[in-house]
């Protein structure tokens, strides 16, 4: 067992996104958090997500070898045994969740536990049964921003739910774009995604509807007073880009190249939107 494989089990790219969204929740929440509690919230939230990622790979160890982007994972290649991964993921989760509840507050710890349970026990097995899994998976994906907020306030406020809505809705077009240019891999692995089950046309209209919901969600921070002129301009520009890009795919017949480019745009969308919101707020 190599240390590098332990890192791969935690899905480090996902962990970096979790740090960013949790930090955004902390900075946008009213009030202040001590440096120690801030560090604890960031680290422990990331560890909870890392633990859930380990068990996700345990459950999908027979599916991962069938997809190019997951074929080199430690369990998929056999470089690590299931027992080793389970001990690692179990120890990390069993440490992070109660310590977060004790060190920060019970609500933040409960959100972390809920996200872990949904991701591992509901979303992961659901991926092979229903296209609705993308919506279920978006719940734990959007929870870290709530955890950052509740770490500061100890409560779920309407502005925090607005941030949750942004992250939740952002994940849908992001994932649809991935599943469009990796359609063959998802089909080979037996995973239920919109492009495989219903085709590109239905997926694109679904993407458009979700993007319109995302536009509304990105305006909510303005309503709650946590965004200013800079954020309003940025949100409008990004929303226009998302809508125009989706319409381009619908009316110009989306290609694999289009799906890859759209996916890259979604990678830029979230950090720019939240980053500007934090700058505007601070």
pLDDT band at 52 (very low <50, low <70, confident <90, very high): very high
The set of long-range contacts for 189-198, using a CB threshold of 8 Å and a minimum separation of 24, is 189/63, 189/66, 189/67, 190/63, 190/66, 190/128, 191/63, 191/127, 191/128, 192/127, 192/128, 192/129, 192/130, 192/131, 192/133, 193/131, 193/134, 194/131, 194/134, 197/131, 198/131
Q: List pLDDT tens digits, range 78-129.
A: 889 999 999 999 999 999 999 999 999 999 999 999 999 999 999 999 999 9
How far is residue 116 from each of residues 113, 140, 235, 241, measured CA to CA in Å? 5, 7, 30, 33
pLDDT band at 1 (very low <50, low <70, confident <90, very high): low
Would you say residue 30 has pLDDT above 70? yes
Mean pLDDT of the chain: 93
Mean pLDDT across 133-155: 96
CB 151 within 8 A of CB 41: yes
How far is residue 54 from each of residues 9, 19, 87, 191, 225, measured CA to CA in Å? 5, 17, 10, 19, 38
Residue 49 makes CB contacts below 8 A (sequence gap 6+) with 10, 11, 14, 15, 18, 115, 140, 144
CB 281 within 8 A of CB 232: no
- Residues 199 and 180: their CA atoms lie apart, in Å, by 9
Mean pLDDT across 51-60: 95
Q: List pLDDT tens digits, range 166-186.
A: 999 999 999 999 999 999 999
pLDDT band at 279 (very low <50, low <70, confident <90, very high): very high
Which phi and psi angles does 115 have, rounded to 5°? -65, -40
Q: What is the pTM of this model?
A: 0.94
pLDDT band at 70 (very low <50, low <70, confident <90, very high): confident
Q: Which domains does the chain have, with CATH numbers?
A: 1-151 (1.10.357.140), 157-282 (1.20.120)
Mean pLDDT across 259-280: 93
């Amino acid at each position: 067992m190599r240390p590098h494989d332990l890192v791969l089990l935690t899905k480090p790219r996902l962990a970096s996104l979790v740090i960013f969204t949790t930090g955004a929740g902390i900075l946008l929440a009213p009030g202040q958090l001590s440096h120690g509690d801030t560090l604890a919230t960031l680290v422990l939230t990331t560890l909870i997500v890392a633990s859930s990622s380990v068990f996700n790979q345990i459950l999908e160890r027979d599916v991962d070898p069938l997809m190019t982007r997951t074929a080199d994972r430690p369990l998929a290649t056999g470089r690590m045994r299931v027992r080793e991964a389970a001990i690692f993921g179990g120890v990390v989760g069993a440490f992070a969740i109660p310590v977060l509840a004790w060190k920060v507050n019970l609500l933040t710890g409960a959100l972390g536990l809920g996200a872990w349970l949904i991701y591992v026990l509901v979303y992961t097995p659901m991926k092979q049964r229903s296209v609705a899994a993308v919506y279920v998976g978006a719940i734990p994906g959007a929870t870290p921003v709530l955890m950052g907020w509740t770490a500061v306030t100890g409560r779920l406020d309407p502005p925090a739910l607005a941030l949750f809505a942004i992250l939740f809705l952002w994940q849908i077009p992001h994932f649809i774009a991935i599943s469009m240019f990796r359609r063959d891999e998802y089909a080979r692995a037996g995973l239920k995604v919109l492009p495989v089950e219903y085709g590109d046309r239905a997926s694109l209209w679904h993407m458009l509807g979700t993007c319109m919901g995302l536009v509304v969600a990105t305006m909510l921070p303005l309503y709650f007073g946590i965004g200013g002129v800079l954020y309003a301009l940025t949100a409008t520009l990004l929303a226009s880009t998302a809508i125009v890009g989706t319409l381009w795919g619908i009316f110009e017949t989306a290609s694999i190249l289009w799906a890859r480019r759209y996916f890259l745009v979604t990678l830029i969308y979230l950090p720019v939107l939240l980053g500007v919101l934090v700058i505007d707020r601070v």
